[in-house]
A and B are shown apart, each in its own frame.
Chain A
Amino acid sequence: MKLLNRLKKIMHILLATQKRKGFCLLIFIYFAVLIFVANNQWLYKTPIAKITEVHTEEKKTMEATRGEKEIYYKQSLRAIVLNGEWKGKSITLKNEYSYSGVLNQKYHKGDRVLVNVNGESQTGGIKGLKRDVHLTALIGALVILLIFITGRKGILTICTLVVNAGIFIVGFSRFLKDDDILGICNIMSVLFAVGTLLLLNGFNKRTLAAIVSTLCVLAAIMGIFDAVMAYEGALDYSTMEYLGSLDNPSELFRAEVMLAGLGAIMDVAVTISAALGEILHKNPQVTFFQLFRSGREIGYDIMGTMMNVLLFVFGCGLIPSFLIRMNNDIGFLTIVRLHIPYEICRFLIESIGIVLTIPISILVASLFMKLRFRPGGEK
């Protein structure tokens, strides 16, 4: 009885306001979706099995690099198939993993795995872990935090993410049918910039200025990229990751360069044109030179940290291949020289883009907002 009263009290506090009600509903939906995804094996064609029993034993010890010992383990697992032809049957699976786990992993009781079942012998092989639950959990957490912390703006942000992903999927499927990757990429960049900025900031002069400056910067960095490529000769793409059987790596690389920095460039352009718009709004008599100086002041503040954002996003993904190569007697500098020139090149071009955005967006924003009747596309 006491517990019930307390529960009632908690519910009362939780549902006190409209906002809290909405938030509780959101959390409820989140967990409902998670439970659904965790049990969606009936949607799968691949058999899915739940591991019920695990036996782990040491198998062998290998000589590892740096004079260490690498222990290999053998796991024999029992699992119950959850869907398809063999639903409800118990199967045995085998798994092998090492301490490092570069190519393999340990499985635990309760894990759900995609398997291929081997007929009547009741054995099977593991194809991989069922990761859709984890993916949903992360996406859901991001969505809930966005709505909880930034409110209406968060919903707009989610809209931009969905719209951008949609543009990307449509553009990308065109991309591999047609051969005109560069044309599609140009259209995609324009759509990305216009869509994101309009959705996030609404239709006004500042947004227009930001869009125009983003596109100008994009044109400028691609110009620099092409000029340098023409001067130096094309890069050697043979050591690029995921190359496989692609026959047009240079075009794909150009598309990568174009898209990777777009977000950062938009970020800087929006910040500067919003700030300059605010200054002009407060003091319409401000001169061009004063505007330029304030814009530069804001630009300094964000330039360094934006380049850092890109440095860490691009740089950290390379760590695993660095570790493996360095432990196979390839020097740090050799890897830098031979294996990651594309990443370095991309980072440098995006950084050039960020720095160029500062003067260009100051120029465009002042032209747009100070001289009312001049079209801003001076490039």
Chain B
Amino acid sequence: MIGILALILFILILVVGGDRGAVSVMALTGNIIILSLAVILLARGHSPILITLLAGGIISYITLVKQNGRNVKTGAAFLATAIVMLLLMFAIYSMVWASKSGGLNEIQAMQEDVMYYYSVDIHINMLHIAVCICLLSTLGAVLDTTLSITSSVYEVAAHKQDLSRQELYHSGLQIGKEIIGTTVNTLLFAYLGESILLFAYLKMGKFTFETILNSKFLFQDVAVMLFGGIACLLAVPAASICIAYFIRPENIVLSEQ
């Protein structure tokens, strides 16, 4: 099943995308490898926050620079992503800490294999792991937003060279307004699709509304989605400022060669 689907995907990317399709296959594979490596290192008990920052940096580098070339667009997007992620890290950490939503949720904890077969004394701080999950799952959406904004502002600047920084910043915000709606919906559907089984399970079991509303399983899943939306929104002004500050007429000439 997986083999056939992967083959179909691979062929489609090459047919539709050509050379650049091959590059995105490589970038995607690279990201999967980094994510797996991060999981393996985390399982060995290395510091979750440190691993997350490292993995986030490498993944951003692969997605932006390896996939789209080294230029002022990807540079600005990288910086904006870094700013947003660092800001967000404090918000996520305090929220996860306050809501105590680390570890397995109530339903996962009731599963047979966890209850009877597995030892849960794994000496890994699950609260930090929860922070790391929130951060990494928003990373993809933030990279998408920042790159869209910086490359669009770049196009605007290339077509109309006499725009001031202020005007470039505002065109960045304008583009952000256009793309945010669908990005937030992308996250919503990814979350809904992921949680259908959970919802079905809840309907079958006897859970009261109060229990569900205050439960860890709801909070963990919804927090990832909400933080994703918040991160993308913060990425709009951050990316606009970065690209408006970095872009200069000589940059445009250079990268068009």
Using a CB–CB distance below 8 Å, which chain A residues touch chain B? 44-46, 62-66, 68-70, 98-107, 111, 114, 127-132, 134-135, 137-139, 141-142, 145-146, 149-151, 153-154, 156-157, 160-161, 164-165, 168, 172-173, 175-176, 192, 196, 200, 224, 228-229, 231-232, 235, 240-246, 249, 252-253, 255-264, 266-267, 270-271, 296, 299-317, 319-328, 332, 341, 344-346, 348-349, 351-352, 355-356, 358-359
Contact = CB atoms under 8 A, between A and B. Distances in A.
Interface in B91-125: 95, 98-104, 106-109, 111, 114, 117-125
Given A44-B210, A311-B32, A263 B186 contact: yes
A9 B124 CA distance: 51
Contact of B140 (A107, A161, A310): A310
A363 to B, nearest CB: 12
A47 to B, nearest CB: 11
Nearest to A305: B144
A342 to B, nearest CB: 9
Given A70-B121, A317-B133, A328-B118, A131 B215 contact: yes
Residue of A130, A132, A305 with highest tally of chain B CB at under 10 A: A305
Contacts of B181: 150, 153, 156-157, 160, 200
11 contacts: A104-B103, A114-B211, A129-B99, A141-B230, A150-B177, A157-B180, A164-B188, A312-B137, A323-B39, A325-B118, A326-B40
The dominant DSSP class at the B interface is helix
Contact of A313 (B2, B42, B95, B224): B224
B233 A131 contact: no
Given A45-B210, A244-B204, A305 B63 contact: yes
Given A150-B177, A308-B28, 12 more contacts: A99-B123, A131-B219, A150-B180, A164-B188, A244-B204, A316-B137, A319-B129, A322-B39, A323-B122, A323-B129, A332-B39, A332-B43
The dominant DSSP class at the A interface is helix
Given A100-B122, A262-B189, A344 B2 contact: yes
B27 interface: yes
B13 interface: yes
Residue of B17, B139, B190, B205 with highest tally of chain A CB at under 10 A: B190
